[in-house]
Amino acid sequence: MATRPPTKEELAAHRKRQQEFEDAARKVQSLVDNIRYDSIKLHKITVYGTSKTRESFLHRILRPAFEAKSLHEVIGLSRQAVRRVERFGIFEDIKVQLDSPKDPWLNDRKDLVDLGIWVKEASRLQIRTGTEAGNGEASMYGALSLKNVFGGAETLSTSLGFGTRTSSAFQFTFATPVLADPDQTLSFNLFSLGRNNAQWSSYEEELKGGSLKYNTLSPLGYHEFAYEGQWREIFRPAEKASLSIREQCGHSLKSALTHTLTHDTRDETLMPSTGHYVRIFHEYAGLGGDVNHVRKEVEAQVARSNDAGYIISATAKSGYLHSLNGKPSKISDRFFLGGPMSVHDSLGGDAYMSAGVSLMTPFPGLANWSSFKVHFFANAGSLVSIHPGQSPIKVLENLTKTPSVSTGAGIVYRHPQVRIELNFALPLMASKSDAISRGWQLGLGISFL
């Protein structure tokens, strides 16, 4: 049914209402502009809807807003304070309102305003169960967490898991913000972990220990400073286990300080199309126990894309483990390379270098399905042992002398929780100790070269 065109009177009335609205909007904007830099201060902040959250915790978060000296600063600092409250994740909904002071004794004070904040506290208890697949392992887990335990955004959590490589895993964690700052966290962890490495290295391993971690943010990225103590046991060597593996069997005690710096601007972690990532890890072990070494690891990635859906990424990793007591390193601390997520070398070593470049293109016939891509790649890497007294120059020479190189193509699917690759791989160069595998390979993982 066709609609009747508006009459001249209706058009005139519409233009009049529009003009009146625009005039009113200009008056309001003019009023705000005239007073935005006038001397105005916050008189009081009232938070409604809190029964579990401590008043002292909220006061520390909101206190900077009282430094405002004009309406412009009041609005800006109030928004910043509310954003800090939101980042703790202990409230489901937050609403704010500026108003004149409610105190009748302050009716004549035009330089004061009150800030009201209405919140709805989130549920403290969270229970999660499920299955995961990634980096060559499938697992099932159950996790329970209690948020805002003492009214200051503290978190108490515990988890239990079982998997194909991680035969059992238990962790208990208590974390609390430092000085009511969402960018500073102190956490205490207890853990127990069992690993079945029989398929790759002919042994099983059990780890138990605890750690104390401090996380903070700087212009360079996220920092994690930690102390960790571990008791480890290598046991149940397979019948085919080599003498080197059997010599590693037994107990060891590790006491270490670590620092990790992470800088990440990628749009996502599973299949990044833009941004870069840098991770630098340092570890000193030797504050007690029978493990004494310095361990360093660096990882970097850059990704770029275009409007046609093509993505190119490059990744480089390197690690170095230097024993400080003149003894060979423990197998629990060594680096391992290999599998469809990396390069083809299953031996543990004290130093490694690896790099990869990847080109992803739209899948033919599924160009609108961004989760499917055609994948072309080339990977290279090298892993070596370090003998006591060996110079860093000699280690670098051994790393670059006989790298393992492979190339290939395949299909990539980005699942919300894991990246799945089906590739045809072709090794081009290999060392004597490499286990070479040509043909189709299936990889499920979170971190890929």
The answer to whether residue 62 sits within a structural domain is yes
DSSP string, 348-378: EESEEEEEEEEEEEEPTT-TT-TTEEEEEEE
Q: Which of 209, 391, 170 is nearest to 291 (CA)?
A: 209
| Chain segment 28-83, per-residue pLDDT in tens | 565 555 556 678 889 999 999 999 999 999 999 999 999 988 888 888 899 999 99
In angstroms, the Cα distances linking 130 to 161, 163, 414 are 10, 12, 19
Split into its structural domains, the chain has a count of 1
Residue 294 belongs to a domain: no
Residue 42 included in any domain: yes
Tell me whether residue 83 is in a domain: yes
Rounded Cα gap, residues 175 and 329, in angstroms: 33
Rounded-to-integer distance, Cα 85 and Cα 54, Å? 13
**Closest among 306, 297, 326, 320 to 447, alpha carbons compared:** 297
The CA-based dihedral angle spanning residues 336, 341, 344, 348, taken in that order and rounded to the nearest 10 degrees: 0
Q: Has residue 353 been placed in a domain?
A: no
Q: Residue 385 in contact with residue 352, Cβ under 8 Å?
A: no
Q: Is residue 205 part of a domain?
A: no
Tens-digit pLDDT string for the chain (449 aa): 455 666 777 677 778 777 776 766 665 565 555 556 678 889 999 999 999 999 999 999 999 999 988 888 888 899 999 999 999 999 998 998 888 887 777 777 778 889 999 999 999 999 988 666 555 566 777 899 999 999 999 999 999 988 777 778 999 999 999 999 999 999 999 999 998 887 778 889 999 999 999 999 999 999 999 999 999 999 988 888 888 888 889 999 999 999 999 999 999 988 899 999 999 999 999 999 999 999 999 999 999 999 888 999 999 999 999 999 888 899 999 998 865 445 443 558 999 999 999 999 998 877 677 788 999 999 999 999 888 778 888 888 888 888 889 999 999 988 777 788 888 888 888 766 666 666 787 776 656 66
Domain that holds residue 113: 30-121
CA distance 217 to 153: 18
Residue 429 is assigned to a structural domain of this protein: no
- For residue 52, being part of any structural domain is answered with yes
- pLDDT tens, 182-229? 999 999 999 999 988 877 788 899 999 999 999 999 999 999 999 999
* Number of helical (H) and strand (E) elements in the chain, helices listed first: 6, 21
pTM over 0.75: yes
Residue given tokens 């890497």 in the structure block: 381
Nearest Cα residue to 376 out of 410, 419, 425, 353? 410
Task: Name 395's Cβ contacts closer than 8 Å, sequence gap at least 6.
Answer: 320, 350, 351, 384, 386
Contact 213, 171 (CB under 8 A): no
Enter the tokens of residue 234. 């290598």
Q: Is 29 exposed, middle or buried (0-12, 13-18, 19+ CB in 10 A)?
A: exposed
Q: Residue 107's domain is classified under what CATH number? A: 3.10.20.310
